[in-house]
Amino acid sequence: MHEVNVGRKSLADYRSIVPKELMTEIDELGERLKGRQVLHVNATAFGGGVAEILYTLVPLVSDIGLEAHWQILTAPQEFYNVTKSFHNGLQGHAVEFPAESRALYEEVCRANAAELTRPYDFVVIHDPQPLAIRDFVTRSQDRSTWWIWRCHIDTSTPDKGLYDYLLPSINRYDAAVYTLADYVPQGLTVPVREIAPTIDPLAPKNMKLSPEDATYIVRQFGIDVERPLLLQVSRFDPWKDPLGVVDVYRAVKAKHPDVQLALVGSMASDDPEGWDYLERVIAYVGGDPDVFILSNLDNVGSVEINAFQSHADVIMQKSTREGFGLTVAEGLWKGRPVIGGDVGGIPLQIEDGVTGYLVSSAAECAERCLQIMDDPVRHHRMALLGKEKVRREFLTPRLLRDDLRLFADLEEGKIGA
């Protein structure tokens, strides 16, 4: 496995942003857990929401007195083809899982488990890619370690064959963390905590940009900043429904011919299907000059995404399945009108008609876009309510607090509390 260099962050920088009582509890928990060793393991250091979370969470854990590390798997590309099928299967697709795929998956997890040679008090394994590492670490080797599986996926309707294979591995953990209780499948015997993801308000992707700076950056990509812009930021993945977003744009354009659309994504190393789906999206757009398909391949990084989100007239996350949807919280944090699919963790963030809109079809999404464009003042007020909800519930210090609570409760035998 490879260690990820996360640099340093200071919790003090967040004290003026989040509620005071939250910071007080973090201070108390940090004192109780001081000196504990924590390891996070996932599949990639860039291109996904888990990586974004860990770049902030890990250094903050260290800042309050624990010692936190983050490592990523070492694996051949074929391994990620297998685990991408896991991701799809856990979200409800029927998947094939032949013996050779099973053997590859287990061999990679066995090899990575062999590299865990130093002691940790808590090991947090993220999502299915490294899940089976726990199978290859014996109890005698880690009798002082608490193992936690953190699932970021909507697993409410998993492929039964795949889930039957993965369930024994999950049940070897000391605790499992899901975003929603609805994601906890039957047959789980380990204690479960519900902990929603968060965003970092001080990261380049979410820090305050002036309207002038945002406009300047967006203009560099050929966008006409004097015309309205619809935006979706997400991986190029069928679950994110970028083709449906194009349908929304076309319906809106029929009434607002000047509207533009930006589909902004990031190509991740653990998502080989993304390249094929990107080509499908490009073909579906058909050369429309008012549709901009951009990614890290076009030098779109965190600051550029921030600029697009800060500038857009409407931000969409029209997912058909979604574990949480960090881009929803990002859009709300920018104080922009946000429309999300009424699925998974998105309703945790959007109160329909109060802080944004929840939709179940392209037609409904287009209607909401038109409402926002026709009454921007009212929807700006809605967006500010959404920003306040994110401030109180979906910023990194809250996730830090919840993780520390879990660590303390495991040590004190209060995991079910």
Looking at the structure, tell me whether residues 143 and 232 fall in a common domain: no
Burial readout 139-148 (b: 16 or more C-beta within 10 A, e: otherwise): eeeeeebbbb
pLDDT class of 49 with cuts at 50, 70, 90: confident
- In terms of domains, do 261 and 191 share one? no
What is the count of structural domains for the chain?
2
> Are 94 and 124 contained in the same domain?
yes
Query: In this structure, is the dihedral angle defined by the CA atoms of residues 76, 81, 82 and 87, taken in order, positive or negative?
Result: positive
| pLDDT beyond 50 at 119 | yes
130-300-241 Cα angle (round to 5): 65
CA–CA distance, 64 with 100 (Å, rounded to integer)? 44
Q: Which residues does residue 244 pair with via DSSP β-bridges, in sequence order?
A: none
Residue recorded with tokens 């109780």? 32
pLDDT at 95 (0 to 100): 87
Assigned token pair, 130: 């490294």
Query: Would you say 47 and 268 are in contact if contact means Cβ atoms under 8 Å apart?
Result: yes
The band of 415, judged by pLDDT with boundaries at 50, 70 and 90, is: confident
Confirm whether 72 is domain-assigned.
yes
> Once rounded to an integer, what is the mean pLDDT over residues 270-275?
70
Nearest 10 degrees: CA dihedral of 281, 203, 19, 213?
Answer: -80
Instruction: Give the residue-averaged pLDDT of 259-265.
Output: 96
Residue for token pair 């590859």 = 104
Between CA 274 and CA 69, with CA 135 as vertex, the angle to 5 degrees is 65
Over residues 61-76, the mean pLDDT reads 97
pLDDT of 372 over the 60 cut? yes
Q: Has residue 318 been placed in a domain? A: yes
DSSP string of 69-98? EEEE----HHHHHHHHHHHHHHTT------
Question: What is the percentage of the chain residues whose pLDDT exceeds 70?
Answer: 97
- pLDDT at position 139, please? 58
pLDDT at 417 over 50: no
194 and 290 assigned to the same domain: no
The residue assigned the tokens 């250094």 is: 59
CA atoms within 13 A on the CB side of 241: 22
Kindly report the average pLDDT of the chain as a whole number.
94
Residue type, 89: G
387 and 401 share a domain? no
236 vs 310, more confident: 310
CB 213, CB 415: distance < 8 Å: no
pLDDT score at 48 = 79
| 240-246 mean pLDDT | 97
- 206 belongs to a structural domain: no
99: in domain: yes
Instruction: Specify the pLDDT at position 97.
Output: 86
For residue 42, being part of any structural domain is answered with yes
Q: Model confidence at 348, in pLDDT bands (50, 70, 90)?
A: very high
Do residues 372 and 407 both lie within one domain?
no
Does one domain contain both 301 and 370?
Answer: yes
Helix (H, G, I), strand (E, B) or coil at 206: coil
Question: What whole-number distance in Å separates Cα of residue 381 and Cα of residue 337?
Answer: 9
Answer whether residue 203 is part of any domain. Answer: no
Q: Residue 27: pLDDT above 80?
A: yes
- Residues 172, 250: one domain? no
Whether 328 and 235 map to the same domain: the answer is yes
With H, G, I as helix, E, B as strand and everything else as coil, classify residue 358: strand
Asked if residue 92 has pLDDT above 60, the reply is: yes
242: domain range? 211-393
Of the pLDDT bands very low, low, confident and very high (cuts 50, 70, 90), residue 353 is very high
Same-domain pairing of 378 and 405 = no
| Per-residue confidence band for 414, with pLDDT thresholds at 50, 70 and 90 | confident
With a cut of 60, say whether residue 105 has pLDDT above it.
yes
Structure tokens at 10: 């200071």
3-state SS, residue 123? strand
On whether residue 205 sits in a domain, the answer given is no
- CATH code assigned at 54: 3.40.50.2000
State residue 110 phi and psi, 5-degree precision: -65, -45
| The two three-digit tokens of residue 104, written as one number | 């590859």
Residues 294 and 366 in one domain: yes
Higher pLDDT, 293 or 142: 293
pLDDT in tens, 147-206: 999 999 999 999 999 999 999 999 999 999 999 999 998 899 999 999 999 999 999 999
Do residues 231 and 249 make contact, with C-beta atoms less than 8 angstroms apart? Answer: no
Phi–psi pair at 288, nearest 5 degrees: -55, 120
Q: What CA–CA distance (Å, rounded) separates 32 from 77? A: 42
Same domain membership, residue 126 and residue 14: yes
Containing 355, the helix (H) or strand (E) segment is none
Residue 332: per-residue pLDDT: 98
Confidence of residue 385 (pLDDT cuts 50, 70, 90): very high
- Domain assignment present for 71: yes
- Residues 6 or more apart in contact with residue 200 via CB below 8 angstroms: 52, 53, 55, 56, 206, 395, 396
